[in-house]
Amino acid sequence: MNIINIALNEFKRNIRDIRTLVFMLAFPIVMMLILGTALSNTFDKNIKLGKINVLYTEKNDSSFAASFQRFIKEAKRQDIHFSKTSESTTDGKLQVKQNHYDAYVKVTDKGIQFYGSERNSIQASMVEGILTAFADKYNLITEVAKEKPEKVQKILTSTPSNYVKETSLNANKAPGSMDYYAMAMTTMIALYSAISASSLIRGERRRNTAIRLAIAPINKMEIFLGKILGGIGINFVCILLVMAFSRFVFEANWGSHPGIVVLILFTLVFLAVSFGLGLSYIIKTDQGMRTIIMVVLQLAAFFGGAYFRIENADGFLKLMINLSPLTWARDALTRIIYNNDLSAALPSISLNIGIAIVFLMFAIVAFRKREGL
């Protein structure tokens, strides 16, 4: 009962600390809004090529010319624009070299000759692809017309006219900017629980209340456990509020497994509180302790991708990324939310609890050896 009372007292005391409470709630929400809006283009899953310009010359028979003109009209609907010129007046290859056009097409009785831009290789490759599709379709119809003319119309009606079709291999399986920063800021602020945790016991000595607690008819371990539960409780409530705000106001996707998501966040808070408490017994001065905690938290946030994604890292950078608790927590959340991979939670939860127990055991040993609090 004493443990619960001490935990509730710690919870109430932290609620009255408006500055800390605003930091834990307002800071991640504002950062979500700023980063999620400003960097939305970096999470855009759609590739926008824009208008593609193709220069062409034509010298062929009338039957192919008619088919080619129908093809040009269809390509225009897909923002691929063909401009006709005369070979005698315009050097098509030079126009492409000077980046005036993405490709140059020369249509003759012998076939289609294609010249693509090296600067705009994606656009040129797309034009080459649809020209190949058109040529294959035309050749098929020509061969069928020689053998069975009555089948030509059937082929024309059964063959789709759209030459460009976009297909995503992982459609809707990756977070958007607001989804990403909802996870990043929530996990980051969970890690910031270490700041308040570092003052759980030390703060009593600064406020000159440690002696009064020490002589009270309460076991020292009850005080210790009550302070830890209170610290975890207030920080975890802040995390839940931030998570709820991002879900209902910013419409961030937290998936269909809220229980396991909340459990990962809880273990991350447990890790942060244990780290802050343990460090308070390792570092003797308040200033030194605050400095080290802030340095560790900022490095963990930076390498953990809290402010921007770090992709294709290797060597030392990859090592630092993998050492950040934000990395394994966010990776687990991403796999659970977007791939329904519940097994991804086990490594993250195990690491959080394992490291937390190490710091917590160190704090317990140091607490027992110390006279008073």
How big is the chain by its Cα radius of gyration, in Å?
A: 32
Say if residue 326 is exposed, middle or buried (CB neighbours under 10 Å; 0-12, 13-18, 19+). buried
Q: Is the pLDDT of residue 169 over 50?
A: no
Mean pLDDT check: name the lowest of 73-82, 211-220, 321-330.
211-220
Contact between residue 116 and residue 103 where contact means Cβ atoms under 8 Å apart: yes
Q: Specify the pLDDT at position 327.
A: 93
Q: Where are the domains of the chain?
A: 2-44+174-369, 52-158
Residue with tokens 């010319």: 65
The CA distance from 108 to 125, in Å, is: 21
First-last CA distance in the chain: 20
106: helix, strand or coil: strand
Q: Specify the pLDDT at position 288.
A: 86
Contact between residue 181 and residue 36 where contact means Cβ atoms under 8 Å apart: yes
Share of the chain above pLDDT 90, in %: 33
What pTM was estimated for this model as a whole?
A: 0.68
Q: Which two tokens stand for residue 274?
A: 């244990």
Q: Specify the pLDDT at position 254.
A: 94
Averaged pLDDT of the chain: 82
Question: Which residue, among 324, 227, 320, has the nearest Cα to 280 in the 3D structure?
Answer: 227
Q: What is the pLDDT of residues 313-334, one digit of tens each?
A: 788 888 999 999 999 999 999 9
Q: Is the pLDDT of residue 117 over 50?
A: yes
Q: Is the pLDDT of residue 38 over 90?
A: no
The CA distance from 255 to 261, in Å, is: 9
Q: Specify the pLDDT at position 246.
A: 94
CATH code of the domain occupying 52-158:
3.40.190
